Amino acid sequence: MDEKKNINKKWIWLIVLILLVIILLISSSMTYSQQSLVPDLDKLFPNQPFKDVLSKISFNYAGENISIANYGYAKFIEFFIRKLAHFVTFGVLSLAIYKSLYAFLSKKRTRQNENNFYNKILAISLVIIIILASLDEFHQMLTGGRTPTIEDVILDSVGGLTFLLINRFIQYRKQQNK
Greater model confidence, 70 or 7: 70
Whole-angstrom distance, CA of residue 177 vs CA of residue 174: 5
Alpha helices of 30-113 — where are they, by DSSP H? 32-35, 38-44, 51-54, 68-71, 73-105
Per the structure, the count of domains in the chain is 1
59: pLDDT strictly greater than 50: yes
- Helices 114-141, 2-29: axis angle to 10 degrees equals 20
The residue range of the domain holding 39 is: 2-177
Lowest mean pLDDT among 21-35, 70-84, 149-163: 21-35
Residue 83 is given by DSSP the state: H
Cβ-in-10-Å burial (0-12, 13-18, 19+) of 149 comes to middle
Q: How confident is the model at residue 55 (pLDDT cuts 50, 70, 90)?
A: very high
- State the Cα–Cα distance between residues 155 and 59, nearest whole angstrom: 16
> Tens digit of pLDDT for each residue in 130-143?
999 999 999 988 88
Give pLDDT, residue 167.
93
Question: How far is 171 from 93, CA to CA, in rounded Å?
Answer: 18
pTM above 0.85, yes or no: yes
Rounded mean pLDDT, 74-89: 96
Other CB atoms closer than 10 Å to residue 143's CB: what's the count? Answer: 15
Please tell me the distance from the alpha carbon of residue 147 to that of residue 139, in angstroms, as a whole number.
10
